[in-house]
Structure 1
């Protein structure tokens, strides 16, 4: 099963049980954002007994949005008048409005006869945008897909978005799923810094061995892309300012691509540090060379989860780089009205 890496499995299981026992109410406790440019989010669950809870810095105990796919109660009918309709095969869904520009943590929980599964991720929604989250159970693992929705030329478009799990540090110790941080001391800080440095070196070594896929575009490749694009445009000529910005967009994409491993490693170390800050001194002292069998198991399980976290972070950062590039290219084509003359223009 897939569980959130930032929150203990027991906490997630207890939260799911509490949600079921409390009934969650049909519509939940979360009030829709009232801003005229509020973002809209559709949550689709294809699993049983599913809840979506909303957390932010002011609501560390979370706010519920209702229950989906529970045979004892009717699904919530929350809707937000979204422009793009849901997929035809959606089993259960709800729609809410989110405050634009606000860091929000979404926590998904599902509870079946033989499993408890959960996933948390952070989202800072953009004003007026529509999003869709699809939660499913496939091959014995839970999967979560976040997409941005739009309509282009009368067609529904779904663009996959990165899933970043950074938690809500300001809520540590203030809610049922947020572990309590132990007081920082010089000794603890030294131990944690040492552990983080060693683990970061191990991750860096793994990346070097795997030879990171190259995403950057060389000057020669860019010249070839421009020549091909001009040939496809035929008699439609764009001014030099367009092609200058076109090159600058690729240069910026190259720069972001070059930094994506560093960014993923930063996310990894931030989350690892947060987990260690809630760990007892006696365990920290053995972390790098554990002698106690129970501590050895705990460290091994933590490192396995964190390696998985790093892999997911790398994928999300790569997707973020690609999306940023596509967005910049679409803005460029829009600014020069390219789509009115060239059907292969960039759209995002």
Structure 2
């Protein structure tokens, strides 16, 4: 089999529309890892012209893994024999092998002709592990989801994992996607923290008067369980309801941590962007605001961009928390055979 032709990942989805002219392989330019303990990853896309790009220290311009859901091309048929099957509602998917234990950067992309959307994130696969990246879009957002796949007691288990975008030193300054950054020092960290503490998000979102953390009270848990019992219409053992209560409480506790988690990831992303600035610019941006001072346009633009990023991060945290809750509940109903008797049992998406 001849080696696949290569094309830049940023142009891959668009070029696929003109594959006869562009010459890009629908199987992409990324070759599967050959290690015997390689990790396996499935990319599931329910949006058009979807691609998953791969970056490491030797490929800072990226490699493509194939294209999915293109109206002119058949989906890539890349498969690596994963033990957990693809979701039944998958519009299209591909599978690749990854070298274990190595920090890489993955990026989802879609090009609908009127919009381009995607998400980049750091990822370090474990040896012999299986993962799944799902990518979907609606009218306002495109959502990337990462899960660990396992077969436990003969059942497929999907465990949500956080999508984290951090510095990628292996490629810093070597491509437009990874601009040059400056090393952290105690002084630079202090300056960056000052800039972040002045930001619109921190100013508004850390106001104690606006904090409203709600967890499920015992009375609320009793009410939810009573409502579920009425819907089931048949008896379940006490330990089922004990687990049901524990799962609800865990969900409430995790949702109560949404704001702190969102703020933590927001500050990390802000630091990632500020590492591109020289000391002099950080010094200037970190100065306290006064009635006479006027921030640079670049500072204002970054602040506004990070306000939008905060809400995207918050949506991601909520999505992960809800997904984790649904997975726990689905495992519970599978374990107790609820789905065999009740059509509206908890099920995985």
The TM-score with structure 1 as length reference comes to 0.69
Distance 1:263 1:98, change over 3 A: farther
Cα RMSD (Å) = 4.4
Distance 1:320 1:273, change over 3 A: same
Distance 1:74 1:232 in 2: 46
Match of 1:132 in 2: 134
Match of 1:54 in 2: 54
Distance 2:334 2:164 in 1: 33
Report the 3-state secondary structure (helix = DSSP H, G, I; strand = E; otherwise coil) of the residue aligned with 2:296: helix
CA-to-partner distance for each residue in 1:282-321, whole Å, 9 max, x for gaps? 211221458998x711011111111111101111111211
Kindly report which structure 2 residues correspond to 1:1-348, keeping only aligned pairs within 5 A, or say none. 16=10, 24-32=24-32, 38-43=40-45, 46=48, 52-56=52-56, 59-66=59-66, 77-80=76-79, 83-84=86-87, 95-99=94-98, 105-108=105-108, 119-121=119-121, 127-128=129-130, 130-134=132-136, 143-144=142-143, 146=145, 164-173=163-172, 175-176=174-175, 177-199=177-199, 201-205=202-206, 209=210, 216-239=215-238, 241-289=239-287, 296-348=296-348
Tell me whether 312-321 or 185-194 shows the greater mean CA deviation. Answer: 185-194
Distance 1:146 1:100, change over 3 A: farther
Distance 1:237 1:274, change over 3 A: closer
CA-to-partner distance for each residue in 1:80-115, whole Å, 9 max, x for gaps? 38644677xx7xx66232549876533245779998
Report the 3-state secondary structure (helix = DSSP H, G, I; strand = E; otherwise coil) of the residue aligned with 2:42: strand
Tell me whether 271-280 or 181-190 shows the greater mean CA deviation. Answer: 181-190
Distance 1:183 1:131 in 2: 31
Gaps of 5+ in 2: 1-7, 16-20, 150-157
Say whether the 8 Å CA contact 1:60–1:174 is kept in structure 2: no
Report the 3-state secondary structure (helix = DSSP H, G, I; strand = E; otherwise coil) of the residue aligned with 2:28: coil
Distance 2:166 2:45 in 1: 19
Say whether the 8 Å CA contact 1:172–1:181 is kept in structure 2: no
Say whether the 8 Å CA contact 1:53–1:107 is kept in structure 2: yes
Displacement of 1:122 in angstroms is: 5.0
Distance 2:343 2:112 in 1: 48
Gaps of 5+ in 1: 1-13, 151-158
Displacement of 1:191 in angstroms is: 1.3
Distance 1:249 1:115 in 2: 39
Distance 1:331 1:36, change over 3 A: farther
Displacement of 1:262 in angstroms is: 0.6
Displacement of 1:26 in angstroms is: 4.2
Distance 1:119 1:198, change over 3 A: same
The TM-score with structure 2 as length reference comes to 0.69
Distance 1:32 1:219 in 2: 51
